[in-house]
């Protein structure tokens, strides 16, 4: 019988893709989601348990019902701008939700935990290739809350032998190449889907926030990783734990940063359409450059970021955008 894996946030962008890859790897992904930002239509690869991480009883119930061998934790509030305006919301929901989950996990006797963290824990460290040993200095409440959860995971590991893998990454992009699931947020805040909406005429224009950054063309630079590559790493991390290996932190990226302008130029090449644009001020909390190395994941996990090129990421996202997205 296939083993169950609890996937918090499995109705969201990354979580839904993780569920697809988990099913392909022989697991039964159990989505735990309150559907506040996710989509029921995205839950295609295993059962859905509607629950809220702020309610400990919900977590206890799903763990009793499915008895998973591991927990894969994606669920979180994740908008940098919102986290700057409402820091208390991010500390309350992200940190308290993770605390409830960790306490329920160890109480249920589960000892394998995969946590989806972020390079936002590093803050603004321009010109530095971010790796597992880079000092973490978050500059927004989103990054701060994720750093707090990382420390909480380590504390629980020390106290309860909860073996864990923590992944830090930044700009996730692209979609399932088969277009079964894809990226869709309400509101949408990510560059590539916003850009493709503008290309398709679903919004008047893409707003470029800040053109005076100290970069090669004045726009922010980010390391983009394809969502399918990202979730492949999470499954490798799960298998790492199930094989009895030690707790680890892995950064996931390509080591190559692309500016907003370069992403827009790549979109023109992929779609053969222009990108309507307007320009706005910098957004509070946005770092100048974030590039994440992944040498440890490649060396130790055997991870291969096969689709993390701008052409593949934009091409897959464009295919999804032209398919039948989830209904609002």
Question: Mind telling me the catalytic residues?
Answer: 142
Q: What residues does 279 pair with on adjacent strands?
A: 208
Nearest to 175 by CA among 193, 194, 199: 193
- CB neighbour list of residue 265: distance below 8 Å, 6 or more residues apart: none
Cα distance between residue 324 and residue 301, in whole Å: 35
Q: What backbone torsions phi and psi does residue 206 show, to the nearest 5 degrees?
A: -85, 130
Please list the helix, strand and coil fractions of the chain in percent, rounded to the nearest 5, in that order: 40, 15, 40
Nearest to 193 by CA among 291, 267, 119: 267
Q: Does residue 33 have a cis peptide bond before it, meaning omega lies within 30 degrees of 0?
A: no
Cα distance between residue 268 and residue 274, in whole Å: 6
Sign of CA dihedral 59, 21, 292, 264: negative
Would strands 112-116 and 248-251 be described as parallel, antiparallel, or unpaired? Answer: unpaired
Q: What backbone torsions phi and psi does residue 320 show, to the nearest 5 degrees?
A: -65, -45
């Amino acid at each position: 019988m296939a083993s169950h894996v609890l996937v918090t946030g499995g109705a969201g962008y990354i979580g839904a893709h993780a569920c697809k890859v988990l099913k392909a790897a022989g697991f039964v992904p159990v989505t735990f989601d309150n559907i506040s930002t996710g989509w029921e239509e995205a839950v295609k690869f295993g059962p859905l348990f509607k629950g809220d991480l702020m309610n400990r009883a919900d977590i206890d119930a799903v763990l009793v019902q499915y008895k998973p061998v591991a927990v894969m934790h994606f669920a979180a509030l994740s908008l940098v701008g919102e986290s700057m305006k409402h820091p208390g919301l991010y500390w309350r929901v992200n940190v308290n939700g993770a605390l409830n989950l960790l306490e329920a996990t160890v109480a249920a006797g589960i000892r394998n935990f995969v946590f989806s963290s972020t390079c936002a824990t590093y803050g603004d460290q321009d010109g530095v290739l971010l790796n597992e040993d880079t000092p973490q200095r978050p500059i927004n409440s989103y990054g701060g809350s994720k750093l707090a959860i990382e420390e909480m995971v380590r504390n629980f590991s020390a106290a309860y032998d909860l073996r864990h893998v923590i992944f830090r990454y930044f700009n996730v992009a692209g979609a399932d190449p088969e277009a079964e699931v894809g990226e869709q947020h309400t509101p949408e805040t990510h560059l590539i889907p916003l850009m493709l909406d503008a290309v398709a005429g679903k919004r008047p224009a893409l707003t470029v926030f800040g053109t005076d950054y100290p970069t090669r063309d004045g726009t922010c630079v980010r390391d983009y990783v394809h969502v399918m590559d990202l979730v492949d790493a999470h499954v490798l991390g799960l298998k790492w734990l199930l094989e009895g290996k030690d707790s680890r932190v892995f950064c996931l990226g390509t080591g190559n940063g692309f500016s907003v302008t370069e992403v827009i130029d790549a979109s023109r090449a992929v779609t053969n359409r222009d990108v309507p644009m307007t320009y706005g001020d910098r957004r509070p909390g946005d770092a100048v450059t974030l590039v994440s190395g992944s040498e440890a994941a490649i060396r130790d996990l055997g991870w291969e970021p096969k689709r993390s090129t701008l052409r593949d990421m934009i091409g897959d996202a464009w295919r999804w955008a032209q398919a039948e997205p989830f209904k609002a």
